[in-house]
Amino acid sequence: MAPPNPQQEPTPRSAALPAFCTPHILLITLLLGFCLALLLAIAPGASEDRWVRLGTTAWFTTWVALITVSLLCALRRPLSRLRLTPLLLGVMSTLLAVTAAVSLFAYQSLTELGWQATESQAEFLLHNLAIAAVVGAVGIWIFSLHLAKARQLSAQTKAELDALHARIRPHFLFNSLNTVAALIDTDPKAAETAVLNLASIFRAALNAADTALLAEELELARRYLVLEQWRLGSRLSFEEHLPAEDLPKIRLPVLTLQPLLENAVRHSAERSTAPCTVRLECQVSPRSVSIVIDNPRVAGETASNGNGISQANIQDRLALMFGDAASLRAGVVDDRYRVKLVIPRPDRPQDTPERHG
């Protein structure tokens, strides 16, 4: 397995920077802007009608929010390269610059429409900049709490992952060694291949904090399934459906697919005397790659398939690397247990949100 390319791994800054292009962030921003407008409208000391004040203030905050989010969305890549302090200063500067531009435009437009201003243009501008600075400071404080929480989650997930791989599935190791021992007499070449496959899997386990290309993860999955097919014989078969074109150069956490395949084998072929087929399908779209793993349900198995720990661990790792752009879903479809991963492409267009099926 090729070593990970550190230049393609996400940095903590880019991982923590909100995805300003997503409708979720835009909706939250607009709701917060309206709440701010409502607070300013009902604040004591307002001279004009409160409904008129609410309308004009909501109009003002909506345009400030829309323009600011659009600029931060367009500048996401250069901003993600900055250190934390310059990043926050850049975001604050963008907010203040947009507030100043909208304030000047709003003052001139409203006065031309007959609005009786109670303060000069300079006072109006400074008043709005002061409010924007306070709101921005509160936003930075909330962002710092989010960043600290993300780092705490990252450290906690890494510790759980280290503990999980420190005791990497002893039964799998012993079963594989027994398979190698049985193959030495009957098929020495297959025994050698089995040892190499086993070494690849445990090498990946020792580098569980790294990333690997999607093609490398699929190759590791094949090596694992070959080992299991030697052990289980006719009880296990494997179907793979990959796109005809080359796979995108997507990096994902090491050992993302193998634990899911191990669960599929454990809860189907290992617990059934009838032949079981584990299927792996990879679908490529302009925005993402979808990976589907499914296996037949065995009588007595619960709908959860008993693999909640592995799924939760993988989901946390994907969230740390891709945020909300990646997803993992599982359930029973046509009496087969089905796990679907959606991984965003690094070259995906940023104009519309990804839909996870």
Q: Please report the pLDDT score of residue 12 as a whole number.
A: 41
185 and 124 in a common domain:
no
Q: Please report the pLDDT score of residue 32 as a whole number.
A: 80
227 and 78 in a common domain:
no
Lowest mean pLDDT among 57-71, 151-165, 209-223, 316-330: 151-165
For residue 308, give the CATH number of its domain: 3.30.565.10
230 and 175 in a common domain:
yes
Domain edge (last residue) among 107, 128, 162 = 162
295 and 210 in a common domain:
yes
Instruction: Identify whether 355 is part of a domain.
Output: no
225 and 135 in a common domain:
no
Instruction: Identify whether 353 is part of a domain.
Output: no
301 and 285 in a common domain:
yes
Has residue 307 got a pLDDT over 70? no
Domain edge (last residue) among 162, 192, 222 = 162
340 and 213 in a common domain:
yes
The stretch 180-192 carries a mean pLDDT of 82
Structure tokens at 350: 């940023």
With cut-offs at 50, 70 and 90, classify the pLDDT of residue 207: low
Q: Please report the pLDDT score of residue 234 as a whole number.
A: 87
Q: Please report the pLDDT score of residue 9 as a whole number.
A: 37
- pTM metric for this prediction: 0.53
Task: Identify the sign of the CA torsion 346, 347, 350, 356.
Answer: negative
301 and 178 in a common domain:
yes
Residues of the chain above pLDDT 90, percent: 13
Q: Please report the pLDDT score of residue 153 as a whole number.
A: 64
SS3 346: coil
206 and 319 in a common domain:
yes
Instruction: Identify whether 58 is part of a domain.
Output: yes
Lowest mean pLDDT among 69-73, 81-85, 211-215: 81-85
User: CB under 8 Å, gap of 24 or more: what pairs does 333-337 form?
Assistant: 333/294, 335/296, 335/297, 336/294, 336/295, 336/296, 336/297, 337/264, 337/267, 337/268, 337/294, 337/295, 337/296, 337/297, 337/301, 337/303, 337/305
DSSP bridge pairs for 342: 290, 327
The stretch 270-296 carries a mean pLDDT of 91
Instruction: Identify whether 1 is part of a domain.
Output: no
Higher pLDDT, 160 or 95: 95
181 and 141 in a common domain:
no
Instruction: Identify whether 351 is part of a domain.
Output: no
The stretch 124-151 carries a mean pLDDT of 79
The stretch 177-200 carries a mean pLDDT of 82
Structure tokens at 14: 């880019």
Report the distance separating Cα 322 and Cα 317, nearest Å.
9
Q: Please report the pLDDT score of residue 214 as a whole number.
A: 92
Domain edge (last residue) among 162, 185, 216 = 162
Has residue 301 got a pLDDT over 70? no
222 and 117 in a common domain:
no
Instruction: Identify whether 79 is part of a domain.
Output: yes
Has residue 246 got a pLDDT over 80? yes
Structure tokens at 146: 């989010």
172 and 153 in a common domain:
no
Structure tokens at 113: 């429409």
With cut-offs at 50, 70 and 90, classify the pLDDT of residue 292: very high
Instruction: Identify whether 350 is part of a domain.
Output: no
Q: The tokens 């997503």 sit on which residue?
A: 22
What domain range is 79 assigned to? 7-162
Number of domains in the chain: 2
Has residue 27 got a pLDDT over 70? yes
Instruction: Identify whether 349 is part of a domain.
Output: no
Q: The tokens 């009902």 sit on which residue?
A: 42
With cut-offs at 50, 70 and 90, classify the pLDDT of residue 277: very high
CB 70 within 8 Å of CB 16: no
